A and B are shown apart, each in its own frame.
Chain A
Amino acid sequence: MLVLAITFKSTAQERAVRFIDAEGQTLAEIPAHHQNDQVYLPVDAVKQVIDPRATHQYNHPRKRLTLKTKGRQIRLQMGRSAISIEPDGQTLTLATPPITIAQQPMLPVDFFRQLLPILNNVEVIYNPNLNKLQIRSKNTWTPGETDNLQNWTIIIDPGHGGSDDGCTSSTGIFEKNIVLALAQQLQKRIKQQGIQVHLTREKDTNKTHFERIQIAEQNRGQLFLSLHCNTSFSPHEKGIRIYLNNPKGRIRFPSPTQPALIGQQLKVLAQVNFLKQSQDFAHALQTELNFLTETPIKTINLPLIALSEAYMPAVVLELGYLSNVEDLEKLSNAEYTENVVQAITRALQRYISSINQQTAPTAPEE
């Protein structure tokens, strides 16, 4: 028991904080100290993450730390949340105060989370469960023109509904309810960005695939996001999956040879024409959602009925496995679903921004 406790303690202390960039690439991995549910990093982390030329002085008897970086002086008092930034004369209250561990000053992750945007003009998001801190340039995906966002209409398709429960967890939770709740949450969030959103169902009602696509087309949707939950025969399979409609995927349709099938094939091919854009959106989703997961998310190509007649870029997002206890727990957790909603919203902005860049009118050449 003692051995177990020691091992646990030591692993908890050694768990590093991973600083990643907007694309999910690791910038630095810094061994962290975990104490009272808070994560602390040594002062040297500032050099690795904020500024390699940063210097610091620590007054041991007074427990005062002075950091010099980017022409600024940052003063911290161990055990106190308030910090001062000179010459701006700015004061900032950290969510967690710095402390001393083994007589050495240690900075809470919140220091980096709160200071980085001020010092480096970046945006920072932190995933406390996985100890990932993402630093993104403010220009990574923010669309240049807000007008562009208002021109966009997104269709969110909560899968199943009505008599079709979708898959069911062993605890009796239905896929149709999870995806509807998340779709509504997502709709609210995306609307706040000025993007128009339509759901293919607002309530617990039956809708055929054709009816869903009709709603998408009537509302002139430019992107179709179908939300589902997954199930497998093994309780060990877990995680988010992204599916693209591709008749030449892991299972595939034969090449068209029979004339009778041509009409149908044309429709299928029409969706394939959007495959490149669908892939781009899938990639954006993957990059943003990877932030929430331990292992990278897979994108899988398959002929999909839900997207087979959608004449727009379209993706099926499977939020997690109801047959897996961990995934089920996450999907029942409001904080987690809010993080998923935020990640999807960021993916949308990233995608729209990339499309806008592609289609942006180039300066006329004289």
Chain B
Amino acid sequence: MIDKQKITTAPQTQNGEKGQKTVKHNNSAGFSRLLVIWGLTLIVVGIGLGVTLLLIERSKLTVIPVAPPPLPTAANPSDTPPPPQEVNLFLLDATTLTLVPIKIERRLHTDDLTKRLDQVVTALIQETPPNFRNTIPRGTELNEAYIDNQQTAYLDFSSHLTDGHIGGTTAELLTVTAILKTVFDAFPDHIKQVQILINGEEIKTIAGHLNLSQPLQLPQ
């Protein structure tokens, strides 16, 4: 039995070796083909990644996408929408710890000052580009904006401006200064002071430190 096996196995190994040789040959051909395919795939994936990264970088460059143009004169659809205007929003630069103007573009109401004020303050509440901090609690809403004949702007916020505030004199001062700077920068000829209201009421303070019971100005 054992001998028989030996006899039978011997040629098998010979055949096997031959077979292996051919397989080897086939393998190297298949391997290089595989290499080519993989190489091509890698190149394609690489290009794809590159393009995606480039697109991401580009989208970063344009810090804030131009907002979809709200149509202010909906009553008359034939009117052309006003051209986009640049507005400075004062946001906190987390590195320098200062408020810096960030330019955005908005199609602002040209004829209605109050509506324009509403647009600017709403933009200040909503915009938070990367690397900057918005100093107004997220979720705060502007109920109403109004300018009286003394050039005092009244900004009526939802109570979240107070309830959602993180507290601290520094943070409270940053919130108020960001609002004042943004408004004075956008309306240099029309607004001289700003009074902050919560749900239509005058308030003493936002976070317990600053006295906001009167209209406020910034040092000249």
Chain B residues in 8 Å Cβ range of A323: 166, 168, 171
Chain B residues in 8 Å Cβ range of A304: 209-211
The answer for the CA separation of A306 and B207 in the assembled complex, in Å, is 11
B97, B167, B214, B217: which has the most chain A beta carbons within 10 Å?
B167
Is residue A253 within 8 Å, beta carbon to beta carbon, of the partner chain?
yes
Is residue B180 within 8 Å, beta carbon to beta carbon, of the partner chain?
yes
Within 8 A of A (CB), among B163-220: 166-171, 173-174, 176-177, 180, 192-193, 204-205, 208-219
Chain A residues in 8 Å Cβ range of B95: 236
Chain A residues in 8 Å Cβ range of B115: none
Do A305 and B205 touch (CB < 8 A)?
A: yes
Q: Quote the shortest CB–CB distance from B125 to chain A (angstroms).
A: 15
Do A234 and B97 touch (CB < 8 A)?
A: yes
Do B173 and A251 touch (CB < 8 A)?
A: yes
Query: Which of B92, B170, B177, B219 interacts with A230 by CB under 8 Å?
Result: B170
The answer for the CA separation of A209 and B204 in the assembled complex, in Å, is 10
Do B215 and A251 touch (CB < 8 A)?
A: no
Query: Which of B170, B205, B212, B218 interacts with A232 by CB under 8 Å?
Result: B170
Is residue B116 within 8 Å, beta carbon to beta carbon, of the partner chain?
no
B170, B192, B217: which has the most chain A beta carbons within 10 Å?
B170
Within 8 A of B (CB), among A207-254: 209, 228-234, 236-237, 241, 243, 245, 247-254
Do A232 and B174 touch (CB < 8 A)?
A: yes
Q: Quote the shortest CB–CB distance from A252 to chain B (angstroms).
A: 5
Chain A residues in 8 Å Cβ range of B169: 228, 230, 241, 243, 302, 316, 318
Closest to B94 in A: A234
Do B135 and A250 touch (CB < 8 A)?
A: no
Do A305 and B174 touch (CB < 8 A)?
A: no
Question: In the complex, how many residues of chain A place their beta carbon closer than 8 angstroms to a beta carbon of chain B?
Answer: 42
Query: Which of A168, A228, A234, A253 interacts with B209 by CB under 8 Å?
Result: A228
Query: Of A74-82, A145-153, A159-167, which binds chain B?
Result: A159-167
Do B217 and A232 touch (CB < 8 A)?
A: no
Known pairs A230-B169, A241-B169, A323-B168; A251 contacts B180 (CB<8 A): yes
Q: Quote the shortest CB–CB distance from B161 to chain A (angstroms).
A: 14
Is residue A288 within 8 Å, beta carbon to beta carbon, of the partner chain?
no
* B-binding residues in A (CB < 8 A): 159-160, 164-168, 175, 209, 228-234, 236-237, 241, 243, 245, 247-254, 261, 264, 302-306, 308, 316, 318, 321-323
Could you show 23 A-B contacts with beta carbons less than 8 Å apart? A175-B167, A209-B204, A228-B168, A228-B209, A232-B174, A234-B92, A234-B94, A237-B170, A241-B169, A241-B170, A248-B219, A251-B176, A252-B217, A253-B214, A254-B193, A261-B214, A264-B213, A303-B214, A306-B208, A316-B169, A316-B209, A318-B168, A321-B170
